[in-house]
Chains A and B, each alone.
Chain A
């Protein structure tokens, strides 16, 4: 099993640029989560999808953030325009519906906005 795949693993960009983070969940998992982790705020849930449908996006910081899941094997998190305060590690996680203990995290994308 390949696990959750995220790309890129590292991203350095300048303020104002668009950033797109990508995630491929584990095959057969029908729930997908985007988290952000910083030292100050810890691990925060941004948005999650069930069967490709966004269920709760209340954690998305503001309109600069958007997420899509066009199919069961791919999701994107986009930040436009990016700001230095968006610098963080962004994790994608997936699980089978109803089984919280089987939530698996991807390796994360380290984003630095200059």
Chain B
């Protein structure tokens, strides 16, 4: 099993809807988790970090972490066309950041 897995294909959501992204990981020791957003042709930028079980909200973004089930998710409420991007899940483990392959989100006006 790869360290970080994002298995969902491209996600299309209508403007104003909720986009939900999931990520699973294999390293039980990992304590720090991150979501990066990457626009086409641009570099990844950090949008959320989460370290404890439960939810963390920041504006329209909510990160959810469940260490027992080894998954972390990202919810984007009131999706906007500007949210159209690829979202990368990452975790800190073995003294490095490990990234998933990403999920593409397309918000349809």
Residue contact A101 to B34, C-beta cutoff 8 Å: yes
The residue of chain B having its C-beta at the shortest distance from the C-beta of A6 within the complex is B43
Q: List residues of B (37-88) whose CB comes within 8 Å of A's CBs.
A: 42-46, 49, 88
Q: Which of B44, B49, B96 contacts A45 (CB 8 A)?
A: B96
Contact B97 A100 (CB under 8 A): yes
B10, chain A: closest CB distance, angstroms: 13
We find that the number of chain B residues with CB closer than 8 angstroms to chain A is: 18
Number of residues on chain A facing chain B (CB within 8 A) = 17
With A45-B96, A48-B96 known as contacts, the answer to whether A101 contacts B46 (CB < 8 A) is yes
Query: Interface SS of chain A: helix, strand, loop or mixed?
Result: strand
- Rounded to whole Å, the gap between the CB of B6 and the closest CB of chain A is 9
Contact with B along A93-106 (1 / 0, CB 8 A): 00000001101011
Instruction: Tell me whether B102 and A91 are in contact (CB under 8 A).
Output: no
User: Are A105 and B44 in contact, with the CB atoms below 8 A?
Assistant: yes
Residues of A close to B44: CB separation below 8 A: 43, 91, 105
Whether the Cβ atoms of A42 and B43 lie closer than 8 Å is no
Q: Is the interface of B mostly helix, strand, loop or mixed?
A: strand
Q: Which residues of A contact B88 (CB under 8 A)?
A: 42-43
A33: which B residues are within 8 A, CB to CB? 97
Question: Are B34 and A100 in contact (CB-based, < 8 A)?
Answer: yes
* Cα–Cα distance between A43 and B92 once the two chains are bound (Å): 14
1/0 per residue, CB under 8 A from A, across B80-109: the answer is: 000000001000100111111110000000
The 8 Å CB contact of B43, one of A48, A91, A101, is A91
State the CA gap A108–B92 with chains docked (Å).
22
A91 to B44, CA, bound (A): 9
Hey, which chain B residues are within 8 Å of A101, CB to CB?
A: 32, 34, 46, 49
8 example contacts (A-B, Cβ-Cβ < 8 A) are as follows A55-B95, A100-B32, A100-B92, A100-B97, A101-B34, A101-B46, A105-B45, A106-B43
A-B pairs, 4 with minimum CB distance: A42-B101, A105-B43, A43-B99, A101-B49
State the B residues within 8 Å of A (CB): 32, 34, 42-46, 49, 88, 92, 95-102
19 more A-B contacts (CB under 8 A) besides A48-B96, A56-B96, A91-B43?
A41-B101, A42-B88, A42-B99, A42-B101, A43-B99, A43-B101, A44-B99, A55-B95, A56-B95, A100-B92, A101-B32, A101-B46, A101-B49, A103-B97, A105-B44, A105-B45, A106-B43, A107-B42, A108-B43
